[in-house]
Amino acid sequence: MKTIYLLDEITEATKEKARAKGYRFADTQTPEAIFVRSKQVPDALITAELAVIARSGSGTNTINIDKCTENGTVVFNSPGVNANAVKELVLTNLFLSVRPLDKAHEVMSQIEVEIAKGNIAGDAVLATAEERRSTLIGEELTGKTIGILGLGEIGERLAEACYHLGMDVIGYARTQKDSMYFEQTAALSELLKEADFVVVLLPLNDQTQGLINEEAFASMKPEATLLNFGRGEIVDETAVLKALDSGRIKQYITDFPTASVVQHPKVVTYPHIGGTTVDALTAGDRIVFARMDRFLRYGTIKESVNFPEVTLPFLAPYRLTIFHKDAPGALAPLLKLLSDAAIDIAHLASERKAGMAYTIIDVAEQKVEEVQQAAAMLQEVPQVHRVRLLHNPHLDV
C-alpha cells in the first residue's frame, strides 16, 4: 500500500478513488507521493522514498524542481485546468472597475434602513433610488484597450472574451502567437502606454520578477487599472504603492495580498482565489491523481514538469524504469549491464528532456530475484538518478 502525504486538502471524490486503488493517506516524513495545491513543499520531504509530487494546479514555484530532478522525483501539475476560473475572475473585476456596483449596493442599503425607519414610503423607493444614482454613473468596457501580459491558455481565453466585448486587445509574450483576438507586441512599454487595463498573467521566473516596476508605471496611463493574477512578485510592491499615491495609475487589483497592499485605499485584494472554484479544484485533483497513479503503478509519464513524456503498454511481468542523465550513448552501458545479467528485454521506450532521460524496460519471464539484482546494479551506475522495479498489477507475479 503506497502512502500519499496531503499538504493541502483535496476533493472527497479523489480521496475515495485513491483509497479504492489501495492508497492510504498519512502525515509522514518519508512518503512515496505528495499531493499539493498551493503550499510550500519542504525540501526535507524530498527523500529517497519520494517518487512523485502531484500539484493540483499549474504553478510549481512552491516546489524545488531542481532538487526533485536530482532526487529522481517526478513532478506533475495540471496546467490550464483553472484557466476558465481565472478568466472569469478577471472579467468580473473588469466589470467592477467600470461600474461602481459596490457603491450602488451601499446606496440601496441606506434606503433599506430608511424604509425600516418609516422615512421612505413603499411606493417611493424607486424614485428615491433614481434621485441618488447620479454618483453611480459608470463606464463601459467596449472601446477600451486591455493589455494582457502572458498568452498562455488563460491569456488566450481572456483575449477572446474581451474581443467579443468590443475591447481592443494587446498581448505580450515571449513566443509569437497567431490569433484573431489580439495584436501582439514585443515592446512592453508600447502595451503599457496604450492600455486602460493591464492584466498580469505571467509565471514567476527570473525574467518576470519585478517586471512591473517604476519604469513600467511611468509608461502607463494615469487612469489605468493594473490587475495581477499571475504572481505577486511580478509587480514591484514599492513601485505600485508609489504609483498609486502619486496618481500615476488609478487602481491596483491583486490576488496576492501583503500587509502593505491590503491597507491601501486604491488596492483591491483577494485571498489567492483565482483558480479556486469547485469545477477547477475537482478537475485539477482528478487529472494529477490519474497521472500520479499511472506513474506509480505503470511507470508511465504524461505532462510532467521535469520528466520527459513516456508511455508503453505494460504487458510483461516486470518493468524497470530508469531516470538518468542524457548524453550520446548514455543508454548503451545500461543495456549492456542488463545483457550481462542475462535479463531478457521484452519492450523498451526512452525519451529525453532538459539533459535527462527516462527509460522504461519491460522484462520478460524471469525470476524476480534476478530482476531485483539487476535493478540494484543499475542504481549504482553514476549517471542513474533513480531505478524503480514494478510488478505488473494485472499479472500474478
Asked if residue 122 lies in contact with residue 160, where contact means CB atoms within 8 angstroms, the answer is no
Asked whether residue 382 carries a pLDDT value surpassing 60, the answer given is yes
**What pLDDT does 57 receive?**
86
Asked whether residue 127 carries a pLDDT value surpassing 80, the answer given is yes
Among 132, 129, 177, which Cα is nearest to 155's?
177
**What pLDDT does 181 receive?**
96
User: What is the rounded CA–CA span in Å between residue 195 and residue 172?
Assistant: 12
User: What is the rounded CA–CA span in Å between residue 112 and residue 120?
Assistant: 9
Per the structure block, which three cell numbers stand in for 139? 463606464
Asked whether residue 55 carries a pLDDT value surpassing 60, the answer given is yes
Mean of per-residue pLDDT scores for the chain: 94
Q: Residue 345 is inside which H or E element, if any?
A: strand 345-353
Mind listing the pLDDT tens digit for each residue in 213-229?
A: 999 999 999 999 999 99
CATH code given to domain 83-99+139-269? 3.40.50.720
Mind listing the pLDDT tens digit for each residue in 173-191?
A: 988 998 999 999 999 999 9
Instruction: Indicate the pairing of strand 356-363 with strand 318-325.
Output: antiparallel
Instruction: Using pLDDT thresholds of 50, 70 and 90, give the confidence band for residue 75.
Output: very high
Asked whether residue 41 carries a pLDDT value surpassing 70, the answer given is yes
User: What is the rounded CA–CA span in Å between residue 258 and residue 221?
Assistant: 25
Instruction: Using pLDDT thresholds of 50, 70 and 90, give the confidence band for residue 36.
Output: very high
Per the structure block, which three cell numbers stand in for 198? 493591464
CATH code given to domain 1-82+277-307? 3.40.50.720
Range list for CATH 3.40.50.720 in the chain: 1-82+277-307, 83-99+139-269
**What pLDDT does 275 receive?**
87
How many distinct helices (H) and strands (E) make up the chain?
Answer: 13, 16
**What pLDDT does 397 receive?**
52
Mind listing the pLDDT tens digit for each residue in 266-278?
A: 999 999 999 889 9
**What pLDDT does 58 receive?**
81
Asked whether residue 152 carries a pLDDT value surpassing 80, the answer given is yes
Summarize the confidence of residues 373-387 as an average pLDDT.
Answer: 96
**What pLDDT does 396 receive?**
65
Instruction: Using pLDDT thresholds of 50, 70 and 90, give the confidence band for residue 168.
Output: very high
3-state secondary structure of 149: strand
Q: Residue 346 is inside which H or E element, if any?
A: strand 345-353
Grid coordinates 473585476 are at which residue? 93
Range list for CATH 3.30.70.260 in the chain: 308-390
Mind listing the pLDDT tens digit for each residue in 3-15?
A: 999 999 899 999 9
Percent of residues in the chain assigned helix, strand, coil, to nearest 5: 40, 20, 40
Instruction: Using pLDDT thresholds of 50, 70 and 90, give the confidence band for residue 202.
Output: very high
Asked if residue 76 lies in contact with residue 216, where contact means CB atoms within 8 angstroms, the answer is no
Give the least confident one: 69-73, 129-133, 316-320, 352-356: 129-133
High-pLDDT (> 70) share of the chain, %: 99
CATH code given to domain 308-390? 3.30.70.260
Q: CA 21 from chain center: how many Å?
A: 26
Mind listing the pLDDT tens digit for each residue in 290-326?
A: 999 999 999 999 989 999 999 999 999 999 999 999 9
Per the structure block, which three cell numbers stand in for 190? 508600447
Asked whether residue 79 carries a pLDDT value surpassing 90, the answer given is no
Instruction: Using pLDDT thresholds of 50, 70 and 90, give the confidence band for residue 279.
Output: very high
Per the structure block, which three cell numbers stand in for 55? 500539484
Asked whether residue 335 carries a pLDDT value surpassing 80, the answer given is yes
In one letter, which amino acid is 137?
I
Among 327, 320, 314, 332, which Cα is nearest to 379's?
320
High-pLDDT (> 90) share of the chain, %: 88
> Which ranges of the chain would DSSP assign to H, the alpha helix?
12-20, 65-71, 83-98, 101-116, 125-131, 153-164, 188-194, 214-219, 237-245, 259-262, 278-298, 331-340, 368-379
Instruction: Indicate the pairing of strand 33-36 with strand 52-55.
Output: parallel
